């Protein structure tokens, strides 16, 4: 479904997942457990100070929002934006706004911000380059933008029970990444274009990390695969997946004998010139 303000060239798409559902709660918890340490490693050197103003875009479960709020303190402000604010709570220094970033940053959401963070957000938005430019415009002079997304690095399976299980896993991953995700506006190529987009928007001192690791069934990485494809169940069926394949996929994601490479996470920060 496209939205009324969509352009013909790059129509906005409806977000594929449901943060407010039970599966969405598990999804957000797993993202925090998998990615927070890497995000915090990129955020830490920014030396966010008491009294500063930050934006957490697509804040999800709010783990990064809370980390930022601890640093800016009650004298500062962390603005947490999401189209679904079910999992976000206001608190000292935290304001929560239900908002679609495709509509820009205006009114109480307008800059300037000392820091803007967007994790696993821009990869979902077809107008990601334009939105990144808008985020840079909302930075205070000297402010920092931190963007983290996962790339399309091949997720090679390292150990599956047998050839049939391997084929099931690879087929569901293929349908998920090559059919369902693009239809939902997701671009796995974006992660490796963040650097170029930051340069194009005029940011300087761009630095960051790329990390990837292996995961076994039953651990957070494999369970993230499971909960993503659980939320996209109907889209996967429409793409041609068989119900027994989706059921076996869920079992493999919980089987300790199953091992695979997990998503590569690319996280960069760039600074607006003073
Ligand atoms: C994959 S989750 C990432 C959550 C969080 N940033 C994290 O990394 O833990 C993406 C979040 O962006 C929100 N979202 C999706 N499209 C959005 C939009 N157009 N504007 C604002 N938020 C959006 C979703 O509701 C979801 O909570």
Residue whose CA is at the smallest distance from ligand 1 atom 11 = 58
6-153+187-212+264-271: CATH, from 3.40.50.300, 3.40.630.30, 3.40.50.150, 3.40.190.10? 3.40.50.150
Give dist(CA 157, CA 164) in Å, integer: 13
What is the Å distance from ligand 1's center to 123 Cα?
Answer: 10
**Average pLDDT value for residue range 214-227:** 98
Tokens, residue 254: 């919980």
**Average pLDDT value for residue range 11-21:** 86
Give dist(CA 48, CA 177) in Å, integer: 36
Give every CB contact of residue 70 below 8 A, 6+ residues apart in sequence. none
3-state helix, strand, coil in the chain (%, to 5): 40, 20, 35
Give dist(CA 149, CA 64) in Å, integer: 14
The larger pLDDT score, comparing residue 8 to residue 16, is at 16
What is the Å distance from ligand 1's center to 120 Cα?
Answer: 7
Domain ranges for the chain, please list them. Answer: 6-153+187-212+264-271, 157-180+217-259
In this prediction the pTM is 0.95
Contact status, residue 50 vs residue 265, Cβ threshold 8 Å = no
Contact status, residue 201 vs residue 136, Cβ threshold 8 Å = yes
Give dist(CA 217, CA 70) in Å, integer: 34
**Average pLDDT value for residue range 144-162:** 96
pLDDT, one tens digit per residue, over 62-96 is 999 999 999 999 999 999 999 999 999 999 999 99
Ligand 1 atom showing the smallest separation from residue 82 Cα: 22
CB of 58 shorter than 6 A to ligand 1: yes
Contact status, residue 175 vs residue 241, Cβ threshold 8 Å = yes
Q: Is the pLDDT of residue 203 over 90?
A: yes
Classified as helix, coil or strand, 266 is strand
Q: Is the pLDDT of residue 21 over 60?
A: yes
Residue whose CA is at the smallest distance from ligand 1 atom 27 = 60
Give dist(CA 123, CA 147) in Å, integer: 10
CB of 19 shorter than 6 A to ligand 1: yes
Contact status, residue 20 vs residue 86, Cβ threshold 8 Å = yes
Q: Could you give the C-alpha distances from 130 to 12, 126, 138, 149, in angstroms and in order?
A: 12, 9, 13, 16
Give dist(CA 136, CA 124) in Å, integer: 18
Residue whose CA is at the smallest distance from ligand 1 atom 19 = 100
What is the Å distance from ligand 1's center to 34 Cα?
Answer: 16
Give dist(CA 103, CA 82) in Å, integer: 12
What is the Å distance from ligand 1's center to 186 Cα?
Answer: 12
**Which residue of 29, 37, 40, 60 sits with most ligand 1 atoms within 8 Å of its CB, as the best mutation to test the pocket?**
60
Residue whose CA is at the smallest distance from ligand 1 atom 24 = 58
% of residues, the chain, pLDDT over 70: 96
**Average pLDDT value for residue range 112-121:** 98
Q: Which pLDDT value is given to residue 245?
A: 98
pLDDT, one tens digit per residue, over 249-270 is 999 999 999 999 999 999 999 9
Ligand 1 atom showing the smallest separation from residue 61 Cα: 9
Give every CB contact of residue 221 below 8 A, 6+ residues apart in sequence. 34, 213, 215, 262, 263
């Amino acid at each position: 479904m496209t939205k009324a303000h969509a352009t013909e060239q790059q129509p906005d798409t409806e977000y594929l997942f449901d943060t407010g559902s039970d599966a969405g709660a598990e999804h957000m918890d797993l993202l925090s457990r998998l990615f927070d340490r890497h995000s915090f490693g990129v955020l830490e050197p920014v030396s966010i100070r008491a009294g500063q103003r930050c934006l957490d875009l697509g804040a999800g479960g709010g783990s990064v929002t809370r980390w930022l709020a601890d640093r800016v303190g009650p004298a500062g402000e962390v603005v947490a934006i999401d189209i679904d604010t079910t999992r976000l709570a206001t608190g000292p220094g935290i304001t929560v706004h239900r908002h679609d970033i495709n509509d820009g940053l205006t009114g109480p959401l307008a800059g300037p911000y000392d820091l803007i963070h967007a994790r696993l957000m821009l990869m979902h938005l077809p107008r990601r380059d334009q939105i990144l430019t808008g985020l840079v415009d909302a930075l205070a002079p000297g402010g920092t933008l931190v963007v983290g997304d996962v790339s399309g690095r091949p997720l090679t399976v390292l150990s599956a029970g047998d050839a049939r299980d391997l084929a099931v896993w690879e087929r569901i991953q293929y349908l998920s990444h090559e059919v369902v995700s693009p239809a939902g506006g997701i671009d796995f190529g974006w992660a490796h274009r963040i650097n170029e987009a930051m340069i194009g928007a005029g940011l300087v001192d761009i630095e960051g990390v790329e990390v990837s690791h292996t995961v076994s069934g039953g651990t957070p990485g494999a369970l993230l695969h499971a909960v993503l494809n659980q939320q996209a169940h109907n889209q996967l069926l429409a793409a041609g997946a068989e119900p027994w394949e989706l059921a076996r996929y869920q079992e493999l994601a919980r089987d300790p004998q199953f091992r695979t490479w997990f998503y590569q996470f690319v996280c960069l920060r760039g600074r607006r010139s003073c």
